[in-house]
Amino acid sequence: MSSTLWHGRFEGGPSEALQALNDSLPFDQRMFREDIAGSRAHVRMLCDVGLFTEDERDSVLTALDAVEGEIESGSFEFKVNDEDIHTAVERRVTELETIGAKKHTGRSRNDQVATDMRLWTRGAIDEVIDLTERLMRTLLAQAEAAGDAYLPGYTHLQQAQPVALSHHLLAHGWALARDVDRLRDARSRTNVSVLGAGALAGSSLPLDPEKTAAYLDFEGVFDNSLDGVADRDFVAETLFSLSLLGVHLSRIGEELILWASTEFGFITLDDGFSTGSSMMPQKKNPDIAELARGKAGRLIGHLVAFLATLKGLPLTYNKDMQEDKEGMFDAVDTVRLTLLALDGMISTTTFNVDAMAAQADTPYAAATDLAEWLVGQGMAFRDAHGVVGEKVRRALAGEGSLADLVAADPQLGDEAAALLAPGVSVTRRTTRGGGSPAAVAAQIDRFRARLDG
């Protein structure tokens, strides 16, 4: 007969409505490997401290292997009273080995679920870091392939100063590098064992939490059992890191959308990474980039929802905390898919470098270079700005081309006018981290070192 974990204390069984709301099995069964790994470590520790004989330990370990095999192969039969993955695994282990009933010795689902979630999150962070670094490598490869190509840099979405295409691509790369740092940082606080905290207060049994932590490759062990079972900071931090990564992917997406438009024409998308229209035969749509932009909203939603869930909770465990899972699983799935699709989109995109250069070579894009050239001649920048601004105003008013007006001004002349020639302006900003192709060469080396380091 299947029964609840608390059947001893209760006369009646759970109502359907309670089960429907309360059960987390539909979503937490994807943590079965982590749950079984936690149980293996716990049982080993129980044997080490003398609470299990070696035979008892081995029979439970064998049963755990069998249960893992059943779940992996799909032959595992979930029962109506399996409210979560912990209950399901324990129920089946006990069916296979009566000694399995002892498996829960010195452990509560409260320290168990927190451990499972930490193990799952640790693995998920590693996977997201790998995929983020993969996208960083794609940006690096495209930056290297871009050579001396350049495009307008923008502020206020108005053409500002020309920059190397490699420079623009790596700007996104550095943002992703910080996301990797943040994920690693969140991982270090995730990678702490809370097994042994019990339901909330520790145990009267001679448990060895450090041993369990070592079996599970955790870097640290909880210091306070109440905090151990109540802490979900690692979930919030990871959701934040994923949200900010999502925001960066969204900003990349937004630029790809702009660049793919007919008006910009800076990129041509590969057929495999764009979609068509059911009605308009000429359309080629940047859906991946739009979804990268759209999914960021959902990621932010998971973070905000979870912070709101946590904020009023008294110590220690409260069932509200079960809400940590669906948001986390969805956030990781969402980021994983977005990273893969954007990576494919960017690695197959054709950069229309002539269209970019044509936009970057409008004479006005070099106006700042003219003012800086005057500074080089000894003029104060504010005055230089005024001199050049006056030429720009007159050129826009139709008094002549900017180049002619500059050449005719005795303070400027032919040498200054030469700065307005196509392809010259972009070469001027050679300082560290600057946008000229020459400066980007060193940046590319630093970026590669960051990836390989």
Provide the binding-site residues for ligand ARG, judged by CB under 6 A.
24, 28, 84, 109-110, 113, 317, 321-322
Tell me how far the alpha carbon of residue 182 is from its chain's centroid.
9
CB of 18 to ligand ARG, least distance (A): 12
Q: Which is nearer to ligand ARG, 198 or 209 (CB)?
A: 198
CB of 235 to ligand ARG, least distance (A): 11
Q: Which is nearer to ligand ARG, 313 or 444 (CB)?
A: 313
Residues 325/29, Cβ–Cβ less than 8 Å: no
Q: Give helix then strand counts, H and E, for the chain.
A: 18, 6
Q: Identify the three-state secondary structure at position 286.
A: coil
Name the active-site residue from 156, 225, 248, 278: 156
CB of 28 to ligand ARG, least distance (A): 6
Angle formed by the axes of helices 32-48 and 109-145, nearest 10°:
130
Helix (H) or strand (E) holding 152: strand 150-155
Q: Which is nearer to ligand ARG, 21 or 280 (CB)?
A: 21
Q: Which is nearer to ligand ARG, 113 or 149 (CB)?
A: 113
Tell me how far the alpha carbon of residue 301 is from its chain's centroid.
14
Name the active-site residue from 2, 188, 277, 401: 277
Angle formed by the axes of helices 233-260 and 165-190, nearest 10°:
170
Residue indicated by tokens 């759970």:
14
Residues 338/346, Cβ–Cβ less than 8 Å: no
Residues 81/4, Cβ–Cβ less than 8 Å: yes
Is 108 an annotated catalytic residue? no
Q: Which is nearer to ligand ARG, 100 or 198 (CB)?
A: 198
CB of 129 to ligand ARG, least distance (A): 25
- The residue among 344, 334, 389 whose CA lies nearest residue 367 is 389
Residue 374 and residue 368: Cα distance in Å, rounded?
10
CB of 238 to ligand ARG, least distance (A): 16
Is 204 an annotated catalytic residue? no
Which class for 290: exposed (0-12), middle (13-18), buried (19 or more C-beta within 10 A)? middle
Q: Which residues are catalytic?
A: 156, 277
